[in-house]
Amino acid sequence: MTTTTAPAVSTTSAVRTETLTFARAITEGLRAALEDDDHVMLMGEDIGRLGGVFRVTDGLQKDFGEDRVVDTPLAESGILGTAIGLALRGYRPVCEIQFDGFVFPAYDQITTQLAKLRYRSRGRLEVPVVVRIPYGGGIGAVEHHSESPEALFAHTAGLRVVSPSTPQDAYDMIRAAVASADPVLYFEPKGRYWSKGEVTLGGPVDAAGLDGARVARAGTDVTIVAYGPTVATALRAADALAAEGTSAEVVDLRTVSPIDVPTVVASVRRTGRCVVVHEAPSFLGAGAEVAARVTEECFHSLEAPVLRVAGFHAPYPVAKLEHEYLPSVDRVLDAVDRALAY
Amino acid sequence: MPEVTSGGADVAPADVTPLVQIVSPTGERVVEPDNATYRSRVDHLTSEDLRALYRDMVLTRRFDDEATALQRQGELALYAQGRGQEAAQVGSAYALAPQDYVFPSYREHGVLHVRGVSPVDRLRLFRGVDHGGWDPAEHNVHLYTLVIGSHALHATGYAMGVQRDGLVGTGDPARDAAVVTYFGDGATSQGDVSEALVFAAVNNAPVVFFCQNNQWAISEPTSRQARVPIYRRGEGFGIPSVRVDGNDVLACYAVTAEALERAHHGGGPTFIEAYTYRMGAHTTSDDPTRYRERAEEEYWRQRDPIDRVAALLKAEGGWDEAWVAALDAEADTYGERLRTAVRELGAPPVESMLDHVYADPHAQVEAERAWLRDYELQTTNEEAVR
């Protein structure tokens, strides 16, 4: 039994606008997905009765039942592997990995199976599984609770890797991820769970919701590329730059696989300078790919090399030091200054 | 119930274990109180049924011999031999209902034969032209999974889907569905197999875990994987478990039929250990002379699953020389057709290398597809000029 894209129209909820936290926007997106298609199901540790350690699935088991919002055994590989089996039977599982640092037991199933089943079967098998992963730091946590492993997955063909930066995108992109026929790793910036924003809910799923970077702020002097938790950092840096007379354009990539190179390139052709900001380590991170592509495609437009502001090549540090590790507004300003000095 | 050892030098005391057997190695029916329920599942089988089983086992072995020869001739890049495991595979597969689903590892050529996956489709992977080779939906057989034990989880999840479809315990044999997953003794050491047993047990999933303990995981004997008989691993997770003579096609059929009935009726998972022997190498790249004894191979040759059925048929008057001759001729034609078909399998078109990575267009793939097309065109033009 195979299915393709889920029905486009959400028949049960009218379009409305509310102010929601980032986390709650995901909850409502999951609710809409569960309402739209009775083959959608959620699975993960503590997502049912507890509603998830971040309460993202709060209330959903009560409303949709234990067969559709499933508390799983404590076994990430088992969660992913059984989700693959459920998907092969025609279901659309949305897995929750409790924290970024605990995704690794599932890494084998994600990279050797989930990513490859369509290719292996020459398109006959479909595994529309979504894997939700809270990621990123800034919450004062112990080891393994603040990581950014997205590049480790984006490097594997067959997976889509996305990360919303606003509550609206969180809502739209989780619905689009569930509707996608491809496996999607949906990285949720946990440091932003409690940020609030206007969210328009209801209506049909935007089929293009998983595609395309977004210009979060228009500018002329430098392009700051970011995704997930660092979009807010980039916007604060842009505010600081504006006060100094520098106009920064902020591009929210929204997706790490694929990367919307044309949108970045169009921006850098105008500004001539590019700074990429992400929490993941600089070495072999997503910023390296952006830098390579921008250099290849806008070489003659560049006034300065592409610079990256990112984490260090060390395991994520202790909580008392994490603010020295994470890309700060100051470090972004420093990189922009260096780019402008060329 | 008879006891059996692996016969090899590396026999641990735990290997001397009772197992379900209906036909002895020399082809006599084994009648005792312990196997009564299993005998009742096969007593109705006629000589015609036994000849059908025999034929399927013979063709499975013929497939194996042809594929091995093709590999030696360079027509296949690799082949994983299943010789000696025909009873475990054909017997268990006979118990499947059409709506049951199979998750094999990569050696279950006999299961695929019974399910109707064509011989040439089964060899596309080994020919190096396809990572799969058949359409799973056509015969309800998943593709081969090369990451050891990984598919045990897929099977369990699939079974959880069958539960949610309401196709367990309906009482209608045409609708109740279950899943059978096949793997070897080595696979039971992989974490994913344990996790599959966890999920199957706590969800009471309609999945049968069919472990072919063929005594070897490449060069490592089963004693390197476990210090108790493998079937006791299933028991450890609270799953009904049984050890069966994997070279007795009737016993393998019977235990699988019982397990499938349990699953169909809502009784949950079963773990079956089919005690058998890998007569050939792990694959054609392997050299068993480096790690095992001829004496052990000879011990198991005396327990050949196909010879056993022949002996049974002869003892019960079901053996017919004309029929045997016809089967030999059929096997020869089968082999010739297979050789021809395999030799005709060519490489897929270069552009197909980037097909089916994703369902929907992915910018990176599309950019590379365009590059590849231009590159191929450029190369072609350059060659034309030269």
- ipTM of this predicted complex? 0.96
CA distance B266 to B203: 11
Confirm if B197 and B233 have CB atoms less than 8 A apart. yes
Each residue of B79-102: b (16+ CB within 10 Å) or e?
bbbbbbbbbbbbbbbbbbeeebbb
Confirm if B252 and B88 have CB atoms less than 8 A apart. yes
Are B195 and A261 in contact (CB < 8 Å)? no
In order along its 342 residues, chain A shows pLDDT tens digits of 344 444 444 445 789 999 999 999 999 999 999 999 999 999 999 999 999 999 999 999 999 999 999 999 999 999 999 999 999 999 999 999 999 999 999 999 999 999 999 999 999 999 999 999 999 999 999 999 999 999 999 999 999 999 999 999 999 999 999 999 999 999 999 999 999 999 999 999 987 789 899 999 999 999 999 999 999 999 999 999 999 999 999 999 999 999 999 999 999 999 999 999 999 999 999 999 999 999 999 999 999 999 999 999 999 999 999 999 999 999 999 999 999 999
Quote the pTM value.
0.96
Cα-based angle B203, B209, B212 (whole degrees, multiple of 5): 165
CA distance A129 to A162: 14
Are A82 and B160 in contact (CB < 8 Å)? yes
Å between B194 CA and nearest CA of chain A: 9
Nearest CA to A172 among A298, A45, A297, A25?
A25
B299 sits in which H/E element: helix B294-301
| Residue that is written with structure tokens 């059908």 in the block | B52
State residue B176's pLDDT score: 98
Q: Is the dihedral of CA B248, B249, B251, B252 positive or negative?
A: positive
B interface with A, Cβ–Cβ below 8 Å:
130-132, 135-137, 142-143, 145, 147, 150, 152-162, 164-165, 191-192, 195-196, 198-199, 202, 355-360, 362-365, 367
Q: A124 CB near a chain B CB, below 8 Å? A: yes
Residue of A42, A72, A89 to mutate, interface with B, max B Cβ within 10 Å: A89
Nearest CA to A129 among A90, A93, A173, A154?
A93
CA distance B162 to B137: 15
Residue B4 amino acid letter: V
3-state SS of chain A is CCCCCCCCCCCCCCCEEEEEEHHHHHHHHHHHHHHHCCCEEEEECCCCCCCCCCCCCCCHHHHHCCCCEEECCCCHHHHHHHHHHHHHCCCEEEEECCCHHHCHHHHHHHHHHHCCHHHHCCCCCCCCCEEEEEECCCCCCCCCCCCCCHHHHHCCCCCEEECCCCHHHHHHHHHHHHHCCCCEEEEEEHHHCCCEEEEEECCCCCCCCCCCCEEEECCCCEEEEECCCHHHHHHHHHHHHHHCCCCEEEEECCEEECCCHHHHHHHHHHHCCEEEEEEEECCCCHHHHHHHHHHHHHHHHCCCCCEEEEECCCCCCCHHHHHHHCCCHHHHHHHHHHHHHC
Are A75 and B199 in contact (CB < 8 Å)? yes
Residue of A82, A95, A119, A264 to mutate, interface with B, max B Cβ within 10 Å: A82
Helix, strand, or coil (residue B101): strand
Are A78 and B199 in contact (CB < 8 Å)? yes
**Residues of chain A contacting residue B202, judged by C-beta atoms under 8 Å apart:** 73
CA distance A275 to A342: 13
Instruction: Tell me the pairing of strands B220-221 and A307-311.
Output: unpaired
Are B362 and A120 in contact (CB < 8 Å)? no
Å between B283 CA and nearest CA of chain A: 21
**Which of A78, A116, A122 lies nearest to residue B153, judging by beta carbons?**
A78
Are A81 and B136 in contact (CB < 8 Å)? no
Confirm if A44 and A95 have CB atoms less than 8 A apart. yes
Nearest CA to A129 among A207, A41, A253?
A41
Quick one: closest CA in B to A109, which residue?
Answer: B150
**Residues of chain A contacting residue B196, judged by C-beta atoms under 8 Å apart:** 78, 81-82
State residue B386's pLDDT score: 76
Q: A112 CB near a chain B CB, below 8 Å? A: yes
Let me know if A145 is a catalytic residue: yes
A·B CB contacts under 8 A? 142
Confirm if A38 and A209 have CB atoms less than 8 A apart. no
Nearest CA to A251 among A235, A229, A270?
A235
Are A259 and B363 in contact (CB < 8 Å)? yes
Q: A120 CB near a chain B CB, below 8 Å? A: yes
Confirm if A155 and A247 have CB atoms less than 8 A apart. no
**Which of A75, A85, A122 lies nearest to residue B155, judging by beta carbons?**
A85
Q: A258 CB near a chain B CB, below 8 Å? A: yes
**Can you say whether residue B329 is alpha, beta or left, with left for phi > 0 and alpha for psi between -120 and 50 degrees?**
alpha
Catalytic-labelled residue, pool A144, A145, A278, A300: A145
To the nearest 10 degrees (0 to 180), the angle between helices A261-271 and B363-385 is 80
In order along its 386 residues, chain B shows pLDDT tens digits of 455 444 443 444 444 578 999 999 999 999 999 999 999 999 999 999 999 999 999 999 999 999 999 999 999 999 999 999 999 999 999 999 999 999 999 999 999 999 999 999 999 999 999 999 999 999 999 999 999 999 999 999 999 999 999 999 999 999 999 999 999 999 999 999 999 999 999 999 999 999 999 999 999 999 999 999 999 999 999 999 999 999 999 999 999 999 999 999 999 999 999 999 999 999 999 999 999 999 999 999 999 999 999 999 999 999 999 999 999 999 999 999 999 999 999 999 999 999 999 999 999 999 999 999 999 999 988 888 87
**Which of A85, A116, A118 lies nearest to residue B158, judging by beta carbons?**
A85
State residue A1's pLDDT score: 39
| Residue that is written with structure tokens 């995981």 in the block | B217
Are A82 and B362 in contact (CB < 8 Å)? no
State residue A207's pLDDT score: 74
Tokens of B133: 């080779």
For A:168-187, CB contacts with B below 8 A are 180-182
Nearest CA to A106 among A138, A142, A66, A133?
A133
